[in-house]
Amino acid sequence: MILTARSLKRLDGVHPDLVRVVDHAAGITTQPFQVIEGRRSLARQRQLIKSGASKTLNSRHLSGHAVDLMAMIGSRVSWEVPLYYRIADAMKAAADALNVPIEWGGDWPGFFDGPHFQLPWGAYPRTDNPALTDMPAAVPDRAEARASSRLVIGDQGEAVRTLQDRLVRRGYALVPDGDFGPKTRAAVQAFQASAGITADGIVGPITGRLLAARGPRR
């Protein structure tokens, strides 16, 4: 398949390694796709948070380290989940062929984001994208907390590290690495169960207030 001119335009500002993966995947995929979004402005990210479509100001889209791909059936966009597994197969095969590590939103436990592909934080720091000339400054944790009403598995950043620090002080065995993974979610669920609230692993206002309050260790 061939990426449309609109898709190519949406790759402006995206890290060159991720652009190479998308381009290679387009040539081998069994499921046609187009790029729905690449790099986002900070203003765009704030709009998505306000509408409920996103929950963090530290998205990988902001620094050009993520893309969203939409499945196409002819000229029609499709959101059928199986199609995104086919796109993911092509993206992962392309990444392996080019020796570029990627993460797929469909692999996140507890939260399926099929269109989303990103370069890992560890291998690709926020400041390493040579395509950027006007990268927004890192968003302070306090600003992120105001913009996002909850933390869920898959989130990353200082807000997650603060959460992990509070869980460690409560006696839960975690490494405060700023990555809300399965171990952090399990610790949140255990804390919620001990506090007598719904153990869904999501850190909303109630869970956040309880964790921030002084209390006995587990």
3-state secondary structure string across 92-124 = HHHHHHHCCCCEEHHHCCCCCCCCEEECCCCCC
| pTM score, whole prediction | 0.63
pLDDT attached to residue 113: 87
Joined tokens for residue 109: 């436990």
User: pLDDT means per 10 residues in the chain (218 residues)?
Assistant: 93 95 97 94 75 72 93 92 96 97 88 90 85 63 52 81 89 88 92 87 83 61
Q: What is the CATH code for 5-118?
A: 3.30.1380.10
Q: Which of 112, 88, 114 is nearest to 102 (CA)?
A: 88
5-118 and 141-212, same CATH topology: no
182-195 and 205-212 are packed helices; what angle lies between their axes, rounded to 10 degrees?
80
Rg (CA), the chain: 19
Residue 99 has a CB neighbour count (10 Å cut-off) of 7
Q: Is 68 helix (H, G, I), strand (E, B) or coil?
A: strand
Q: What is the CATH code for 141-212?
A: 1.10.101.10
Q: Which sequence spans correspond to the domains of the chain?
A: 5-118, 141-212
pLDDT attached to residue 22: 98
pLDDT attached to residue 129: 85
